[in-house]
Amino acid sequence: MAGYRKLGRTSSQRKALLRNQVTNLLYHGKIKTTEAKAKEIRRMAEKLITLAIKEKDNFEEVTVKAKVAKKDSEGRRIKEVVNGKKVTVFDEVDKTIKKDLPSRLNARRKMLSVLYPVTEVPADGRKKRSNTVKVDMAKKMFEEIAPKYVGRPGGYTRIVKLGARRGDGAEEVIIELI
């Protein structure tokens, strides 16, 4: 007997389906699916959350110098002429960044191997490329999801049964983060 549910799909289709649903569960907080899929999603999501909790505080803050373009009062870059060409003027600024230690970097890479990239579209309904924002799911795991479950020894998800689906009678459930 296999150690996982096959869900009536080939391995690549199954992997893509589960990655998509785990990403949506962690991004939205809850999703509606079938019971068999929910039990597989739970396995993957709880492993990722446990990994995020273990590596949550495993970083160091480092100060680095960064070049930032000077801007005028209207927010446009200031340019000056050098050797007949217009060149942007830069200031050097000290920035504090979080530098992952090796184990947290490994955890981040494991998470990103499972989670799909998420693009957030503004709520006003306009689906323009310029208004979209890429969401760093690994950062969200470390900074938003992991702190909620620090004192909890597992069981980060809940499955609530809804009943049979009309079309094929499959048992539908809502899986949500507690």
Predicted TM-score of the model (pTM): 0.82
Residues 77 and 111 in one domain: no
Q: Look at residues 100, 125, 160 and tell me which one is the last residue of a structural domain.
A: 100
pLDDT tens sequence across 53-74: 999 999 999 999 999 998 888 8
Residues 121 and 167 in one domain: yes
Indicate if the pLDDT at residue 130 is higher than 80: no
Indicate if the pLDDT at residue 164 is higher than 80: yes
Indicate if the pLDDT at residue 156 is higher than 70: yes
Judge whether 143 and 57 are in contact, CB under 8 Å: no
Classify 11 in phi/psi space as left (phi over 0), alpha (psi -120 to 50) or beta. alpha
Please report, in angstroms and rounded to a whole number, the separation of the first and last CA atoms in the chain: 31
Q: Quick one: how far is CA 80 from the chain centroid?
A: 41
Q: Whole domain around residue 96: which residue ranges? A: 59-100
Residues 28 and 84 in one domain: no
What pLDDT does residue 133 have? 86
Indicate if the pLDDT at residue 147 is higher than 90: yes
pLDDT tens sequence across 73-122: 888 888 888 888 999 889 999 999 999 999 999 999 999 999 999 998 87
Indicate if the pLDDT at residue 160 is higher than 90: yes
Indicate if the pLDDT at residue 172 is higher than 90: yes
Q: 6 lies in a domain? A: no
pLDDT tens sequence across 21-43: 999 999 999 999 999 999 999 99
Point out which residues pair with 95 in neighbouring strands. Answer: 64
